[in-house]
Structure 1
């Protein structure tokens, strides 16, 4: 049942053909996904999960493709007012390109579209108690993303049943957190602790 729901989402979002040079929608080379990323847009069937204090309100820092086909995804999230680093080991399932990870329940996800040098769009299904929630996330190599890519993300969300109103833009930087776009690692933790909104890029 879990895989069926995920495959349904995959079918809906992959109805788009690769029209732009460099855009990939299948057979992803995960080694090219590796590297630093910025969280740009978050979307969820339950919008509160992507909003402030939501369980999926976190910011990706780095993705690493491991030799065993798993992914190491390093994120930052505000927990009890402090900026915490959250490393996730995501194991590839029997369905190639589909990954699973335990967080706020059980999750299955896959990449639906990417330009390795520009952006990646991820689709996930979260199973928590009796609730099933689907969501999407947009990461980019740089914080400045074109309106066309953001619009494409919104279209993919709507194709999976996530309304445009549930898309949350986390790139609206305030003066106290502008440097978060440029500084990583422990420096990020220091800046988060000093900011009014730890771990926020907005």
Structure 2
């Protein structure tokens, strides 16, 4: 028990060096960021992700701005056995566009780049199964990714130490219904 508590305290006091250099989208606007997004690509050093990345499909995020700059997020993940869904509250930390999501083990989430209408690059530093990892997701308002979006994603993820061989472009799926509706 004491070792676990000490580990948690050290984790809070010792942020990774890559995390400190990640900036948030200037003048982030949660209302403009709200709406339907597709997660079209991901890169991560998470062992669980790396073991499953070749089997992942495009998922969705339905985002709504809430009080105090928080985001309410409904997620749908297609799997072979159907559509898995989850809801999470992204709690604002300091600047607009900077969050934590305790329910998902996300210690640090930052919207690092977005034009609101077509793409967003989202940085996530998380804990899963006792291991810390970094993930970067590319969001798109449609299931097709624009060259501008792909360039922003490819320019960013190496800055947090993630190599190209950990990237996956996610195939489309019609397992979940959220993506069937029109994006804003």
TM-score (ref. length: structure 2): 0.75
Partner of 1:199: none
Partner of 1:197: none
| Structure 1 residues without counterparts, runs of 5 or longer | 15-23, 186-202
Distance 1:76 1:45 in 2: 22
Partner of 1:194: none
Partner of 2:180: 183
8 Å Cα contact 2:40/2:58 also seen in 1: no
Partner of 1:93: 93
Partner of 1:156: 156
Distance 1:42 1:160 in 2: 13
Misfit runs of 4+, over 6 Å: 178-181
Distance 2:140 2:75 in 1: 14
| Structure 2 residues without counterparts, runs of 5 or longer | 1-10
Distance 1:106 1:113 in 2: 19
**3-state DSSP class of the match of 1:37?**
strand
1:109-188 correspondence runs (5 A): 109-170=109-170, 172-173=171-172, 177=174, 183-184=180-181
How many residues are treated as equivalent by the alignment? 170
**Gap change, CA 1:133 and 1:181, over 3 Å in 2:** same
Q: Give the structure with the larger helix fraction.
A: 2
Distance 1:96 1:7 in 2: 21
8 Å Cα contact 1:6/1:125 also seen in 2: no
